[in-house]
Chain A
């Protein structure tokens, strides 16, 4: 499927500033970085989580543990995917009693976040789970909201939001467009 009529709504600087701001908000809300674990949802949540953890690290002068989570096994819409691929999940040590920050690129229906929370609960009982997203495009189907949002982008359901990150896509930007067959 082609991605057409795309409009860039964030550029590399916007993304960098959003990441910085989210990092500051996380430090403020959690009164520092102790017991903090940042967990990226595959695929684009992973590089974002590394950037956010890096930013928190430079603010607080400490190293923030980062995990990566594959939620394929927890999705409730598997029957709609023709060839699901399971990738590795890795958490940095025990999450019992930790404050987890789930990181994803786009918050839409909320189903990925629900799956991520289910997955994390299977690893232990964290003290809290917070959610950071680069873009909130609305249209929630579950009662989920983000604690930290890079940018709110109101969209129609027909539109698609694409986040491009250097680590995955070789360029930086957030685009709105339409999928065309």
Chain B
């Protein structure tokens, strides 16, 4: 049996692999601007979206990407499914396997779930976020957005600001940015940065001091439940030091790009006036999401089985 290809984490791709994927996403972005935004490439393939965690944009984006490639899509959301009746991830995987699904897009609250899934099914697995661990397609769409706005990324500086510790977006994003030759800063209070240093990432606690260095300011969502964990004294205090507002943007490098994976807490980590400004690329990130996920599905499902292993 030929080996299936998967996309589980961003470091499954080397720099060439990442750049090929971004180039391909550009062609798919062109498809999305056509009058008929659909191509027949994955006709006859079936993609299952297996979401054990609530998600709107990632699930919709994967669903749209698969449909734009003419694949059939099954949506499985945990709240409305047999999970409530106690069905395990393994049984679900076996069911999808029996139905002849070609690819499974999985979002799961437990880190490592996509790796487990790979053992139980022959289908191609795409990790759409596992616990605090990884979110590779988000990292790719973020790089795509940066490259479209800034051009060559080599030597540019990006700051991931806020709750880096709990963020799979930041974890995969920092690796991806490093892989393409960017300087990476992790900005936040010590309690919200990973305790062990991350290779190639500089820790900064003073947001305002970091701003003039950054080409990209990547704001992370402040999760309210973290406040109950006591990692920040209060949301108000966090906001005072780490919110990106118009005044702070005044200190940023001219032409700096503001990004956010969504959903945004307006008035907490990002001020509304910043979120809606032309230098904010939040909606561009959403558009890029469909093109990048089309590229990922096409790369993994489009070619001959047993081609070069992506994961």
Contact = CB atoms under 8 A, between A and B. Distances in A.
Interface of A: 70, 72-75, 78-90, 118-119, 122-124
A37 to B, nearest CB: 16
A82 B35 contact: no
Contact of B24 (A82, A86, A123): A86
A83 B303 CA distance: 6
The DSSP consensus for interface residues of chain B is: loop
Contacts of B306: 82
B33 to A, nearest CB: 11
Interface of B: 20, 24, 26-28, 30-31, 34-36, 38-41, 69, 295, 298, 302-308
A89 B30 contact: yes
Interface of A is mostly: loop
A62 to B, nearest CB: 27
Contacts of B298: 73, 84, 86
Nearest to A90: B30
Contacts of A82: 303-304, 306-308
B34 A123 contact: yes
B97 to A, nearest CB: 20
Given A70-B27, A78-B41, A79-B303, 5 more contacts: A72-B41, A88-B26, A122-B34, A122-B39, A123-B36
B65 to A, nearest CB: 13
B27 A122 contact: no
A144 B277 CA distance: 53
A84 B303 contact: yes
Contacts of A72: 41
Contacts of B24: 85-86
A79 B308 CA distance: 14
Contacts of A122: 34-36, 38-39
A70 B34 CA distance: 14
The 7 tightest CB contacts between A and B, nearest first, are A82-B307, A73-B39, A122-B36, A86-B27, A82-B304, A73-B41, A86-B24
A7 B39 CA distance: 39
Contacts of B41: 72-75, 78
A13 B39 CA distance: 39
Given A73-B39, A74-B39, A79 B304 contact: yes
